[in-house]
A = this chain, B = another copy of it.
């Protein structure tokens, strides 16, 4: 067995304390952001306000706005506070819109322990609510002096959708290459993290050079975050590995642990298993599960995760004298500490 465990409450405590430490300085910003989002409901047509208020109602982690705030921390621009709040709101709105639409696709009933918009209002209304959130995001994005916000956000959204289409609508045989896995992550997850950081720095008045670096930080943190998410899905509860793997395979979803396993298996065995999978044989999940334990997969995934975090911090290291970078280091440390929850 290539995993160790400590008491769950112990690691949750460490993780929570870490989060608290990172969230505390931006709490005023996030509170202002929530207030701003609430104020925006009144800007929408009356027919949709109830639906949008519902979507705003769940307290998600507001990760992306946090990244905006930190990327623009104590920026050289004069009165940028409201701009950063608006930018964070734009990105959060896009994120919420993609969640609302994703929940239709996944036929998900709950998110963050609350009924999804798709469940509460029906899938058809959820299509429209997502559209309203997205178009309002772009309307706000268009209120900046520069077109760059609008352009970046529109492009990011397009790429997020492309990632979802790529992952969900694979033609013929499933693509189980590492390149494909990372491409989907880049499109679906990393893009928005990248834009949040790059534009956060930009809007706060930092240079193009630092903004690009901040964007790279966001991108790699986003990739790390997704790798971690996929790892937790599989390994957090040992007794559930088989079931989770089965569910993923049903959806044609090959996350990094499984991809690494496939790389390590003898070619014959790999081909035999994939042949069974492509033929719709559900029993392969059990075989994959059994073989997972025979290789140091967990550690290798952790290595890939660590590598992304290094790329993230390396990107901004040359700018260590700038205010955002100390916080970015802390964020990377915090993400790394999440590993404690499962290892």
Contacts and interface: CB of A to CB of B under 8 A. Distances in A.
Given A147-B144, A150-B147, A169-B125, A161 B101 contact: no
Given A45-B162, A150-B141, A159-B45, A104 B132 contact: no
Interface string A289-326: 00000000000000000000000000000000000000
Given A151-B142, A169-B121, A135 B134 contact: yes
Among A136, A147, A165, the one with the most B-chain Cβ atoms within 10 Å of its Cβ is A165
Given A104-B127, A139-B154, A154-B136, A48 B162 contact: yes
Nearest to A45: B162
A128 interface: yes
Among A48, A132, A157, A158, the one with the most B-chain Cβ atoms within 10 Å of its Cβ is A158
A22 interface: no
Contacts of A104: 124, 127
Contacts of A21: none
A26 to B, nearest CB: 27
A164 interface: yes
A13 interface: no
Contacts of A134: 131, 134-135, 157
Interface string A103-141: 011000000000000000101110111111011101101
A145 B125 CA distance: 35
Given A139-B158, A154-B142, A168 B105 contact: no
B131 A44 contact: no
